[in-house]
Chain A
Amino acid sequence: MAITLFQMLVFPGFLFLSFFGLAAEYFDRKLHARLQNRVGPPWFQPLADFIKLVSKEDVIPEDANPRMFKMMPIFALTSTVTAFFYIPLWRHAGLYSFTGDLIVVLYLLTIPTLAFFLGGWYSTSLYSKIGAVRSITQLFAYEVPLFVSILSPALLADTWSLKGMTIFYAAHPWYWIFNLLGFFVSLVALLGKLEKVPFDIAEAETEIVAGTFTEYSGRLMGLFRLGLDVEAIVGSSLLAAVFLPFGLALPAGLGFVVYLAKVLFIIALLTLARTVFARLRIDQMMELCWRYIAPMAFLQLLIVLVIKGVFLK
């Protein structure tokens, strides 16, 4: 019992995840700054930002529904932390595992977007409402490609459980190469999920101030930001487990280092994307996702089916 609690709350659970999230945010910001020829923040900046936000007053708009307004940041944070328990990190299985946990993880990762929507909607500010509607519109653009591209490797492994997938890919170490297209698709989808440039349409600063987060302040804002940081880690961990399933049988210390490297690699790719692109318009994003990204995801599915049906018979 004590060990389970420790695993859930401290390592590799909530506390580790929070600090790793903040560290990854620093990595992202520093790399972004260096790519833009700036100096960038010191290493403790994300933590300092978080502490500052938490120590500030919460301002809740008069017309807002206070319960929903307060609940949404917690929803966003807890659902992502929960998803983290099922993802294999540096072993073949996560903390918990059962058949179908892949679907549950994907479902849990959708909840933050819904929390952004509801939080924005219930704060009743015009900017928040537009941001909320935009974030839910975005959801429809990237969620289908993400699901299809993540389910294809599972199809190849013939299992719906993440544990089964890692065991399968450990037995067939080079099969991950078949899923590279899916990796690319889910990277694009993850950019949309994390609302980063070019898909930061829902919080486009120059149009709608901060979108959903316009009315949020203090502790609640801090939780939302932590939730996003954690979501970045959980999303990258999921991608690492599904698309880069190697280094899982290594001894604990080395395996941990490989895991960190994989996650930071994915975060660096996301940072690179947000450095070299301009923000798209919502209609352009829809067009991009449905015209190019979704067909690519289905192509990945087709590749997997052909390989499975023809070559692996």
Chain B
Amino acid sequence: MHKVMIPIGPQHPALKEPESFLIALKGEKITDFAVRLGYNHRGIEKACEERTYIQDIYLTERICGICSHTHSTAFVQAVEEIAGLAMPKRALYIRTIIGELERVHSHLLWLGVAAHEIGFDTLLMYTWRDREIVMDLLAAVTGNRVNYGINTIGGVRRDISPEQTKDILSGLKKLEERTKYYIDVATKETTIIKRLSNVGVLSKKNALSLGAVGPTARASGVDRDTRRDDPYAAYNEIDFKVITDDHCDVYGRTLVRCGELMESYKILRQALQNMPEGPLTVKAPRKIPAGEAVSRYEAPRGECMHYVRSNGTEKPERVKVRAPTLANVQCVAKMLEDRQLADLPIVIAAIDPCFSCTDRLVAVKEIGSRKRIMKWDELREYGIHWYQHQGVDFTELNKRLKRKMK
């Protein structure tokens, strides 16, 4: 059978966001694979430079619809570090709790999406139904299902009352029970195992050299978790395990995420029980002193990094965001080597991609290449000459038009 090139995207039922994969197929086998990102570039970094720090919290929160708390916390942490604020303990605990609730809803969402990609819609319906429990908890605690708006510079904006604590604990009980059931389904159902094991293999060596992060790396046996390695918020006071697995395939990634769900419940219980009393915020200056900081945060998808540079005004001079998907997307080509077309959706889904969070614009000047950047006038001039060459000439017409206008 001869080779065919198939476009998966920018619009395709397997993809929840616009991105494009061009694959070369020989029969059912994938022989070549190319990714093209950038359909969702929104200019958020530049927009951050135009706004004040307080406005930026809400802007960075909207980088991602799933891990919104991730981005706002990462940004706020960087700003707090520059300003040298001593954070109140209670605020750190509340950030941890919201962050873990977010991880729970993100991992449950992923489980559903993964099941859908292999045509197992029943699991999708079940997990998304139970995800509503954690969404309701988030709505009750913060007022929103996504974009919680709980962070502010120097603390958090809302407290968690004892009644809410009780609600969260009872919700966790239900979730834990359901998660155990899903682990059971995912690890015992034959067709799932058939579709997931030995698919999308990423060896430990490759995971390290390609810079994989989060569950993708941990499923390849890389013991790396920002929560433990570089603790932020209240994680240094909480006892939890970093889940790793050495299956190196999609099945391993499923196991890691399921295990992380169980760990998240543990973290949440500890955080809720050990939450100290105290103020929620410290006073933060409106103008942040000059300086720069890098902040790392373990998002559900992996390590998220924010860089902020301030210049003593009320607006940041530079904000840089590195979403976890950018680190993981390079691995996809490796994972798809010698796989079949049927494996493509689940392999892409297994890194839990979030493409609109990833899209950044970088202008690369290639030295010695014939490509060049044109100004508008140059481009116009070029166009006129190109059409003249084709035999379309408006010079006479333009002259006549000018005369008439006079």
Contact = CB atoms under 8 A, between A and B. Distances in A.
Nearest to A201: B342
A280 B195 contact: yes
Given A277-B191, A282-B28, A208 B125 contact: no
B385 interface: no
B344 interface: yes
Nearest to A38: B125
Interface string B365-386: 0000000000000000000000
Given A206-B14, A207-B344, A279 B122 contact: no
Of the four ranges (under 10, 10 to 19, 20 to 34, 35 or more), the interface on chain A belongs to 20 to 34
B121 A36 contact: yes
Contacts of B343: 281
A209 interface: yes
Contact of A280 (B28, B117, B189, B191): B191
Contacts of A283: 28, 340
Contact of B125 (A37, A197, A204): A37
A83 to B, nearest CB: 28
Interface string B168-205: 00000000000000000000010110110000000000
A275 interface: yes
Given A36-B122, A278-B115, A279-B118, A207 B342 contact: yes
Interface string A203-238: 011111100000000000000000000000000000
A208 B4 CA distance: 13
B126 interface: yes
A127 B6 CA distance: 8
Contact of B118 (A36, A126, A208, A278): A278
Contacts of B118: 278-279
Nearest to A276: B122
Contacts of B120: 197, 277-279
Main secondary structure of the interface of B (DSSP, over half): helix
Nearest to B12: A209
Contacts of B117: 206
A198 B14 CA distance: 18
A306 interface: no
Contacts of A279: 118-120, 191, 195, 342
A197 B158 CA distance: 47
A158 B340 CA distance: 45
A200 interface: yes
Given A36-B125, A204-B119, A207-B342, A278 B192 contact: yes
Contacts of A207: 14, 341-342, 344-345
B342 to A, nearest CB: 4
A284 interface: yes
Interface string A43-83: 00000000000000000000000000000000000000000
B191 A198 contact: yes
Nearest to B120: A278
A35 interface: yes
A278 B197 CA distance: 14
Contacts of B391: none
A168 to B, nearest CB: 38
A204 B121 CA distance: 12
A279 B116 CA distance: 10
A130 B341 contact: yes
B129 interface: yes
Given A36-B126, A206-B117, A279-B119, 10 more contacts: A37-B125, A126-B7, A130-B6, A130-B25, A206-B119, A278-B115, A278-B119, A278-B120, A278-B191, A280-B194
Query: Top 8 closest A-B pairs, CB basis?
Result: A279-B119, A278-B120, A206-B14, A278-B191, A36-B125, A206-B345, A281-B342, A278-B118
